[in-house]
Amino acid sequence: MRYLPLSDRDRAGMLAVIGAADIDALFADVPAAARLAGPVDLPLAAGELEVERALSALAAQNRAAGAGPFFCGAGAYRHHVPASVDHLIQRSEFLTSYTPYQPEIAQGTLQVLFEFQTQVGALLGLPVANASMYDGSTACAEAVMMAARVTRRGKAILSGGLHPQYAAATHTLAHSAGVETCRLATAIDAEDAVVAAIDADTACVVVQTPNVFGSATDVSFIAQAAHAAGALLIVVVTEAVSLGLLKSPGEMGADIAVAEGQSIGNGLNFGGPYVGLFACREALVRQAPGRLCGETVDAEGRRGFVLTLSTREQHIRRDKATSNICTNSGLCALAFSIHLSLLGGVGLARLARLNHARARALRAALTAIPGVEALTPRMFNEFAVRLPTSAAPLVEALAGRGVIAGVPISRLDPGGGLDDVLLVCATETTTAADIDALAGALAEELAR
Least Å distance, CB 262 to other proteins, is 10
Phi–psi pair at 232, nearest 5 degrees: -100, 150
Instruction: Identify which range of 33-41, 198-206, 364-372, 437-445 contacts other proteins by CB under 8 A.
Output: 33-41
- Answer for the pair 210, 186: CB distance below 8 angstroms, yes or no: no
Residue 350, burial from CB neighbour count under 10 angstroms (0-12, 13-18, 19+): middle
Site string for other proteins, 295-324 (x = CB under 8 A): xxxxxx-x-xxx-xxxx-xxxxxxxxx-xx
Q: Which of residues 322-381 bind ligand PLP (CB under 6 A)?
A: 326-327
Q: Which does 12 bind (CB under 5 to 8 A by kind): ligand PLP, its own copies, other proteins, none?
A: none
CA distance 74 to 88: 28
Residue 216 within binding range of other proteins, rule CB under 8 A: yes
Instruction: Identify which range of 185-193, 196-204, 396-404, 438-446 contacts other proteins by CB under 8 A.
Output: 396-404
Least Å distance, CB 223 to other proteins, is 15
Least Å distance, CB 361 to other proteins, is 9
- Residues engaged in binding its own copies (CB under 8 A): 2, 48-49, 52, 80, 82-83, 87, 90-92, 342, 428-429
- Answer for the pair 170, 139: CB distance below 8 angstroms, yes or no: no
Output 301 or 370, the one with its CB closest to other proteins. 301
Instruction: Identify which range of 153-161, 182-190, 195-203, 376-384 contacts other proteins by CB under 8 A.
Output: 376-384
Maximal CA-CA distance, the chain:
82
CA distance 348 to 274: 19
- Answer for the pair 68, 404: CB distance below 8 angstroms, yes or no: yes
Residue 79 within binding range of other proteins, rule CB under 8 A: no
Q: Which of residues 58-77 bind other proteins (CB under 8 A)?
A: 58-67, 70, 72, 74-76
Residue 112 within binding range of other proteins, rule CB under 8 A: yes
Q: Which does 429 bind (CB under 5 to 8 A by kind): other proteins, its own copies, ligand PLP, none?
A: its own copies
The residue among 142, 98, 427, 111 whose CA lies nearest residue 276 is 142
- Answer for the pair 125, 256: CB distance below 8 angstroms, yes or no: no
Least Å distance, CB 171 to other proteins, is 7
- 365-373 — which CB contacts under 8 Å span 24+ positions? 365/435, 365/436, 365/438, 365/439, 366/424, 366/438, 366/439, 366/442, 368/439, 369/439, 369/442, 369/443, 369/446, 370/446, 371/446, 372/442, 372/446
CA 248 to chain centre: 18
Q: Which does 386 bind (CB under 5 to 8 A by kind): ligand PLP, its own copies, other proteins, none?
A: none
Q: Which does 319 bind (CB under 5 to 8 A by kind): other proteins, its own copies, ligand PLP, none?
A: other proteins
Q: Which does 224 bind (CB under 5 to 8 A by kind): ligand PLP, other proteins, its own copies, none?
A: none
Q: In this structure, is the dihedral angle defined by the CA atoms of residues 289, 214, 120 and 109, taken in order, positive or negative?
A: positive
The contact set with ligand PLP (CB under 6 A) reads 326-327
